[in-house]
Structures are given as structure tokens and as C-alpha cells.
């Protein structure tokens, strides 16, 4: 991984275009930015090697798949040494989409998607609060997600 790769305006344009549509053909991007498709390919590969492009993925629509409840759970651990075992257990809960080790009021902050409030209730009681290392939790239900974007290159 080349940590010293400096992106220029062409790289920024390519990144923004791929962020909008990761399946954009290199030939189309080359025409749009007045360079050859090979140049686009080389730039993308360099940015992959530098770790700027971490992965290409399909973004699923949770609501279309029946996941209507998004929430965030602040988790307090019994002891600092409980972090790794708790993360390992949270990783096995399919409803947990993201986890963050944080400073402040909570040790861990997780994002969960559930199909309903009843489903969320079952996940909380039977999966999350059943983890021995967890002392307490606080659940915040998301009502809307008005801003959802990637970082700007």
C-alpha cells in the first residue's frame, strides 16, 4: 500500500464518478475526462494500491428488503478488557451493520437494522443484552436519514 500517493484533479473526478456509479465503464470515464480508458484504468489501479479505493460494492436498500427500523445502540462494557470478546460476539449478529469503539459515554456504538420494533426487541434481549461482557445499553431509533454520503476526495 502506497501511503504517499497524492491524488490530482483527474483522480478526484474519477473517484467522484465511481462513487456515483461504481460500474461506470472506463471508456465512458475516459471520454468524460478527455483521457484514454487505459489512463483511467491505471489511475484506478494506483488508487487501489494506495488504499484510497478500499473496495467496490453493491449498496442494498434495507427498506426494500423489509428492514424498516434503523437504530443505534450505545454499549457500556463491564471492563475495558471486554472489548475484543464483545466485538467478536457482535460480529456474529447479522443485524449489526457497523460497530465503533468510542470515547465518551459509550465504549461501543453499533448500528442495527431490524424488520420491525418486535424484531429489534428480540435482537436486543436475546442477542445483544445476552452478551455477558455488556453492562448496559441505550437504544436510539432513527426516524430519518437525510444525509448519507461518502467522504469527498
Give CATH for domain 69-141.
3.30.70.920
Query: Which CATH architecture best describes the domain 9-49?
Result: Orthogonal Bundle (1.10)
Instruction: Indicate the DSSP class of residue 108.
Output: E
Q: Residue 26: which of 37, 15, 42, 16 has the closest Cα?
A: 37
pTM for the whole thing? 0.82
Cα 79 from Cα 118, distance rounded (Å): 30
Kindly report the three-state secondary structure assignment for every residue of 63-106.
CCCCCCEEEEEEEEECCHHHHHHHHHHHHCCCCEEEEEECCCCC
Mind listing the pLDDT tens digit of every residue in the chain (153 residues)? 556 889 999 999 999 999 889 999 999 999 999 999 999 999 999 999 999 999 888 888 999 999 999 999 999 999 989 999 999 999 999 999 999 999 999 999 999 999 999 999 999 999 999 999 999 999 999 999 999 888 888
For the chain, what are the domain ranges? 9-49, 69-141
Phi, psi of 49 (to 5 degrees): -65, -30
CATH fold match for the domains 9-49 and 69-141: no
Amino acid at each position: 500500500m502506497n501511503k504517499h500517493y497524492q491524488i490530482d484533479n483527474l483522480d478526484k473526478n474519477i473517484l467522484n464518478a465511481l462513487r456515483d456509479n461504481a460500474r461506470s465503464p472506463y471508456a465512458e470515464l475516459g471520454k468524460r475526462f478527455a483521457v484514454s480508458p487505459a489512463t483511467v484504468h491505471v489511475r484506478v489501479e494506483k488508487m487501489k494500491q494506495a488504499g484510497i479505493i478500499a473496495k467496490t460494492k453493491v449498496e442494498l436498500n434495507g427498506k426494500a428488503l423489509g428492514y424498516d427500523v434503523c437504530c443505534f445502540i450505545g454499549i457500556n462494557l463491564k471492563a475495558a478488557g471486554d472489548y475484543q470478546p464483545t466485538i467478536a460476539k457482535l460480529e456474529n449478529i447479522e443485524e449489526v451493520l457497523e460497530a465503533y469503539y468510542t470515547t465518551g459515554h459509550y465504549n461501543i456504538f453499533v448500528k442495527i437494522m431490524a424488520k420491525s420494533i418486535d424484531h429489534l426487541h428480540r435482537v436486543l434481549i436475546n442477542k445483544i443484552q445476552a452478551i455477558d461482557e455488556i453492562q448496559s445499553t441505550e437504544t436510539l431509533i432513527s426516524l430519518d436519514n437525510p444525509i448519507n454520503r461518502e467522504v469527498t476526495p
